[in-house]
Structure 1
Amino acid sequence: MLHTAIYRQLDALVPARYVVFNAPSLEENEVMFYSSRNLCAWWPTFPDVQALRAKGVRIAALADHGQQVLPAYLREPWVLIVAPPLDGKE
């Protein structure tokens, strides 16, 4: 299911210089038509998160949906959770 309504709001929900993780599989390409944010399917490994943070990249993640439940290392206070539900209809 595509979540176009959320992707259209992504620039307002997530400040610049953030990379957003936990998109539904195969939807990370759709966002480029609606937002300037980088959106990735699923999430990075913990070492990748550490490397991104060391380079000053800020981390955001779409809220849990379906079987994509964020790991504990992405539930830290420095991770911006984008909370609109992805399991419902637009």
Structure 2
Amino acid sequence: MIIKRNQIISNNILSEFLTKHRAEVIDVCITEYDEQAFVNGIREEGRQEGRALTLFSLVNSGNLKPDIAAKELGISIHEFEIAMKEAGMNQPVSK
């Protein structure tokens, strides 16, 4: 027999179970919250990586100076050059 959700809530049918398994219930809630935080973190990391790759590409094509791109990313020019090389891009040779 399927008990309706409202009946479960109004009759405190899950109260005993939730009390008995309190630690597990709390752990599941925290795990689900942490999972959402993790997903949000991954999304933000992806956006930052995309922004960096765009700036690397602009520098590589000669359309943006490395010092300006580094400033946009909030890193030093040296850190920018290292990150750009790690991304497989080289800075254009100045003429």
TM-score between the two structures when normalised by the length of structure 2:
0.24
| Bigger Rg, which one | 2
Ranked by relative contact order (alpha carbons within 8 Å, sequence separation 6 or more), the top structure is 1
Q: Quick check: which one's strand share is greater? A: 1
Q: Quick check: which one's helix share is greater? A: 2
TM-score between the two structures when normalised by the length of structure 1:
0.25
